[in-house]
């Protein structure tokens, strides 16, 4: 494999952990204090996140109505001899307590939704390098942005697999899915942001304006400021997504390019969700998994619309030509673009029950070492030790993205 390709590998393991409770007291200004919530149920919810590993109860939860409320909170904290912890919380899909604020204040970003949607009508400037974009409040979730932009025949270019995540949340990480090899992660598709810095300053930043803040905040895990608005790159939206399901993948040069590529390692444990397939096919796939203990599965997607529909079959055949896979285990499906993007809308893996822990680990691996990961991790650690309750995903990512 060429050295200009890296793979993003995501793994989820199931673990158990204990609960920790904390308490603190602060005397905030009256205008700010009246927007604090210290209800026991609210504090309990704010004490954990999707990872369900760290349980750290905050002193209070700020429910802002204005962006300036966040600035006031940070400024007050900075005025103390010992500032308290502040964490912004959207959908709380962090996995190691990043949305928690022990002894401090959690900022409930979703509270902005009570005052109306902060998704602007898409704007296009054909005479600018900017092209099309939408301004979005960081508390908004990607599925809502998708539905709004589709009304105008537009769509964001970069995604995560699960899109009921907040925009500020994924931009504080990276935002990687099967489109990353073409468009880069979500943080590579942001033109501009409004940020409240750690000093409490309101700053508008981009690659050319306040660029140090721009690059620090994107992927900064919320440690360099609170994103309040993001300007997201948009492109033309296809109407349909044609999916090909394969069990092996080899590198080829393409002139007809796939729009989405995702790999998955399927082990003989635990039971695999095969609900996509017909019952007779489910039996064949289960038999294949049992015989081999480990199989490699690739999902390739090609978008199309009315103008390209006539060529979609030929394009798909070209994409799969030369792939090393078992022909009888090739499966195809057509979805609307929105159905494909929101295919994990009700996924059971996103379980927030008290017993479910989700310590995801994401790694960037150079393509020259991906076979070492396969042999050393998948086969010699996970398979040999019968590690269960796990999901393994692989995304190809071009370094220049």
pLDDT by residue (tens digit) across 197-219?
A: 999 999 999 999 999 999 999 99
Q: Residue 20 CA to chain centroid, in angstroms?
A: 28
**Angle, CA 93 vertex, CA 89 and CA 94 arms, to 5°:** 80
pTM, whole model, 2 decimals?
Answer: 0.84
Indicate the pLDDT class of residue 15, thresholds 50, 70 and 90: very low
Indicate the pLDDT class of residue 21, thresholds 50, 70 and 90: very low
Distance in angstroms between the alpha carbons of the first and the last residue of the chain: 17
Pairing of strands 105-108, 60-62: parallel
pLDDT tens track for 42-74 = 999 999 999 999 999 999 999 999 999 999 999
Structure tokens at 212: 């140090």
Tell me, what's the pLDDT at 254?
58
Residue 228, helix vs strand vs coil: strand
Q: Which residues pair with 366 in a beta bridge?
A: 6
Of 260, 195, 203, the closest CA to residue 228 belongs to 195
- Measure the CA–CA gap between 95 and 107, rounded to whole angstroms: 17
Indicate the pLDDT class of residue 397, thresholds 50, 70 and 90: confident
Residue 49, helix vs strand vs coil: coil
Up-side HSE of residue 376: CA atoms within 13 Å toward CB?
5
Of 65, 107, 67, the closest CA to residue 86 belongs to 107
**Angle, CA 51 vertex, CA 166 and CA 268 arms, to 5°:** 110
Tell me, what's the pLDDT at 127?
67
Tell me, what's the pLDDT at 206?
97
Report the chain's mean pLDDT, rounded to a whole number: 86
Pairing of strands 240-246, 190-196: unpaired
Q: Would you list the DSSP string of 341-377? A: HTTTTT-TTS--STT-----EEEEEEGGGHHHHIIII
Average pLDDT over residues 265-289: 78
Of 173, 167, 168, 143, the closest CA to residue 155 belongs to 143
pLDDT tens track for 301-348 = 999 999 889 989 998 888 888 788 888 988 888 989 999 999 887 665
Rg over alpha carbons for the chain, rounded to the nearest Å, is 23
DSSP assignment letter at 320: H
**Angle, CA 43 vertex, CA 39 and CA 48 arms, to 5°:** 160
Pairing of strands 190-196, 154-156: unpaired
**Residue ranges of domains in the chain, CATH in brackets:** 17-113 (3.30.43.10), 117-236 (3.30.465.10), 241-356 (3.40.462.10)
Q: Would you list the DSSP string of 64-98? A: -SSHHHHHHHHHHHHHSSSPPPEEEESS---SSST
The pLDDT of residue 13 is above 80? no
Tell me, what's the pLDDT at 20?
33
The pLDDT of residue 189 is above 70? yes
Pairing of strands 131-137, 123-125: antiparallel
């Amino acid at each position: 494999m060429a050295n200009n390709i890296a793979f993003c590998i995501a793994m989820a393991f199931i673990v158990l952990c204990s609960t920790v409770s904390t308490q603190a007291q602060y005397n905030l200004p009256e205008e700010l204090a009246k927007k604090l919530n210290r209800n026991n149920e609210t504090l309990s919810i704010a004490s954990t996140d999707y990872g369900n590993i760290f349980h750290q109860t905050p002193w209070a939860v700020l429910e802002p109505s204005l962006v300036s409320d966040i600035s006031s909170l940070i400024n007050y904290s900075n005025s103390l001899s010992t500032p308290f912890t502040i964490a912004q919380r959207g959908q709380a899909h962090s996995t190691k307590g990043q949305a928690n604020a022990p002894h401090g204040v959690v900022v409930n970003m979703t509270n902005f939704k009570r005052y109306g949607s902060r998704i602007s009508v898409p704007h296009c400037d054909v005479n600018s390098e900017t092209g099309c974009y939408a301004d979005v409040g960081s508390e908004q979730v990607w599925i809502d942005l998708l539905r709004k932009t589709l009304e105008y025949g537009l769509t964001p270019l970069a995604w995560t697999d699960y899109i009921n995540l907040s925009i500020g949340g994924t931009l504080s990480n990276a935002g990687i899915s099967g489109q990353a090899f073409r468009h880069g992660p979500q943080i590579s598709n942001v033109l501009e942001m409004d940020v409240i810095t750690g000093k409490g300053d309101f700053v508008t930043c981009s690659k050319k304006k306040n660029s140090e803040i721009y690059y620090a905040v994107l992927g900064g895990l919320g440690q360099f400021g609170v994103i309040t608005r993001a300007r997201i790159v948009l492109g033309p939206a296809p109407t349909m997504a044609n999916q090909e399901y394969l069990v092996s993948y080899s590198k080829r040069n393409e002139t007809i390019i796939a729009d989405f590529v995702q790999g998955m390692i399927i082990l003989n444990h635990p039971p695999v969700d095969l609900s996509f397939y017909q019952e007779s096919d489910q039996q064949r796939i289960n038999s294949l998994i049992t015989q081999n203990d480990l199989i490699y599965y690739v999902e390739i997607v090609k978008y199309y619309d009315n103008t390209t529909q006539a060529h979609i079959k030929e394009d798909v055949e070209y994409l799969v030509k030369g792939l090393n896979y078992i022909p009888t285990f090739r499966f195809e499906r057509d979805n609307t673009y929105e159905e494909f993007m929101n295919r994990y809308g009700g996924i059971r893996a996103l379980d927030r029950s008290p017993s479910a822990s989700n310590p995801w680990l994401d790694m960037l691996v150079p393509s020259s070492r991906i076979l070492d990961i396969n042999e050393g991790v998948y086969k010699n650690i996970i398979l040999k030790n019968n590690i269960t309750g796990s999901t393994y995903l692989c995304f190809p990512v071009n370094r220049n993205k």
